[in-house]
Chain A
């Protein structure tokens, strides 16, 4: 994991620095060339790239860096460090992500089970269509429409922003809906495959009731595809909700990420990329662990 993060930080660093323009281009004009030079010198942007990277890592230049968990100062919000900003906005993104994850699971899994139990009947086809619809109507379509009717016309829920529970409902639904269809399809495949496997036939032959078969024997295995998908899903939800955060004006890391690229806020972009990568790696590890708990046939050396 550490080497991967190092490589990710290196690629991110090089990519960001290879973009034209610098973080101080949009400073108030007229800024004299001297001021800009001084600013650059303060943040060591005048050094060669390899030296800047080593300084960022914290192995050269005497200041603390990535190896100490310090992501450096933000070049745009100069009173804040990147760590500060992440500490402030990551919980917001994580709360939104976690709630959407629950929403997706609580809608997707029952729908998937229903489809698998009605396999081949019209209930299955209808459920499949609904599931498909849920990830074919993009966030950017469903969110404005919900805002228009639920919030603007009927005044049921607030239009945007984040803080009170009622403000969390619409973003959660919009973000979760996209994934609930995928979860439903995975659940359907998992359960209908499991229900056709031999140990289920054996259990049935021994006289176990259908509900015991479903909940005691089949469900554990049937949910594995959902579990393995939930790692990347959670990482997407926690960090990748750029669009939903943008629509509902939620102060999460997605907004900061997009803005940091526009502002050429190099340290911020690399810091957020690292947070994203670390989350993805940790979640995938957790998924692997829960895999071996659910399916005893899977063992890791």
Chain B
């Protein structure tokens, strides 16, 4: 999409930019291309606004997400914009508090996957040879395993011990957060495979370039070559796939929460809110707002993140195909 926008006016761009073009690094040029893509910039603004609103929500509204009332299943009205749920809780408040968890899951999960994926891929690509072979075989094998099993095992194997430990040393509320932390880490730990493949490919091709050879000849250490010379050259690609990992992880979390494996009540994420709405399906009355509002928020966030990722990819890696 944004790709096409850019293709239509390469001549105009090159005329206006040509005077300054030679002073710009490839990354700076990429950011210029990015700013020209309308859907991507709009998505970025939408996401920032959403983030600000979600963070500032406790200041704006006094209502608590777990405050129950007698107003059971009230449709959207001036008082409850998103309606109320089975316990009379205000769905608008719940959706915004749920947004916190869903967004944190996306951010933390993506960071974990970034850390593992980039390290694994960079080491494999840089060391090369037999180690590279073995590490990438490992990635192949992990691809063949359903990743859901890792998340569940990680959660169930360590969660209880950590919870009791935290409840003893800190407070019970801290312990309740522990289960979510494991969810975040677990989701990140199963989403790094594609990242590592991409990084490895890039490092492999950069490794034999002249500037790396030169730096090696000057006696630079391996860590310095990797951090100073190779990583800055692939950071664009990393940002692109990071942006595309965030929606994937948010989606994954919503599936798990829907199946009852993710966030546990009274905590709620978008996925578990939708699950609660789906449980209320009956042939007598239709409570559409229970699904439409959290689902709409989830879908629009995913949409914005994907548009952002697309825009970044077109900017940083113009030749790549949509994946």
Cα–Cα, bound, A135→B299 (Å): 9
A273 touches B145 (CB 8 A): yes
A242 touches B145 (CB 8 A): no
Q: Which of B254, B283, B286 interacts with A138 by CB under 8 Å?
A: B254
A120 touches B8 (CB 8 A): yes
Cα–Cα, bound, A148→B141 (Å): 41
Instruction: Report if A60 contacts B (CB, 8 A).
Output: no
Looking at chain B's contact residues, the main secondary structure is helix
Q: Total A-B pairs in contact (CB under 8 Å)?
A: 133
Q: Which residues of A contact B4 (CB under 8 A)?
A: 119-120, 124-125
Q: Which of A124, A186, A242 interacts with B148 by CB under 8 Å?
A: A242
Instruction: Report if B60 contacts A (CB, 8 A).
Output: no
A152 touches B291 (CB 8 A): no
A19 touches B156 (CB 8 A): yes
Q: A4-B140, A193-B321 are in contact. Are A145 and B291 (CB under 8 A)?
A: yes
B295 touches A141 (CB 8 A): yes
B149 touches A137 (CB 8 A): no
Q: Which of A128, A144, A258 interacts with B277 by CB under 8 Å?
A: A144
Cα–Cα, bound, A97→B52 (Å): 41
Contact with A along B98-139 (1 / 0, CB 8 A): 000000000000000000000000000000000000000000
Q: Which of A129, A140, A280 interacts with B254 by CB under 8 Å?
A: A140
**What are the 5 tightest A-B residue pairs by CB atom distance, in nearest-first order?**
A141-B295, A277-B144, A136-B302, A144-B278, A128-B1
Instruction: Report if B237 contacts A (CB, 8 A).
Output: no
Cα–Cα, bound, A15→B8 (Å): 53
Instruction: Report if A2 contacts B (CB, 8 A).
Output: no
Residues of A within 8 A of B (CB): 4, 7-8, 11-12, 15-16, 18-21, 119-120, 124-125, 128-129, 132-133, 135-141, 143-145, 147-148, 152-153, 159, 185-186, 188-190, 193, 225, 239-240, 242-243, 246-247, 257-258, 261, 269, 273, 276-277, 280-281
Q: Which of B150, B291, B295 interacts with A15 by CB under 8 Å?
A: B150
Most chain B CB within a 10 A radius of its CB, from A16, A152, A153, A159: A152
A243 touches B295 (CB 8 A): no
Q: Which residues of B contact A185 (CB under 8 A)?
A: 322
Q: A120-B7, A138-B251 are in contact. Are A145 and B145 (CB under 8 A)?
A: no
B281 touches A147 (CB 8 A): yes
Q: Which residues of A contact B283 (CB under 8 A)?
A: 152
Cα–Cα, bound, A184→B141 (Å): 29
Q: Which residues of A contact B219 (CB under 8 A)?
A: none
Q: Which residue of B lies closest to A127 (CB)?
A: B1
Q: A8-B145, A19-B156 are in contact. Are A141 and B299 (CB under 8 A)?
A: yes
Q: Which residues of A contact B286 (CB under 8 A)?
A: 148, 152-153
Contact with A along B142-168 (1 / 0, CB 8 A): 011110111011001100100000000
B86 to chain A, nearest CB (A): 15
B150 touches A132 (CB 8 A): no
Q: Which residues of B contact A242 (CB under 8 A)?
A: 148, 255, 259
Q: A186-B321, A273-B145 are in contact. Are A138 and B281 (CB under 8 A)?
A: no
B298 touches A124 (CB 8 A): no
Q: Which residues of B contact A20 (CB under 8 A)?
A: 156-157, 160
Q: Which residues of B contact A246 (CB under 8 A)?
A: 258-259
Q: Provide a sorted-by-A list of 12 A–B residue pairs whose CB atoms are within 8 angstroms.
A: A119-B4, A136-B303, A138-B295, A140-B258, A140-B295, A141-B296, A144-B277, A148-B288, A152-B282, A186-B322, A243-B255, A276-B144
Q: Which residues of A contact B275 (CB under 8 A)?
A: 140
Cα–Cα, bound, A243→B258 (Å): 8
Q: Which residues of B contact A257 (CB under 8 A)?
A: 146, 148
Instruction: Report if B306 contacts A (CB, 8 A).
Output: yes
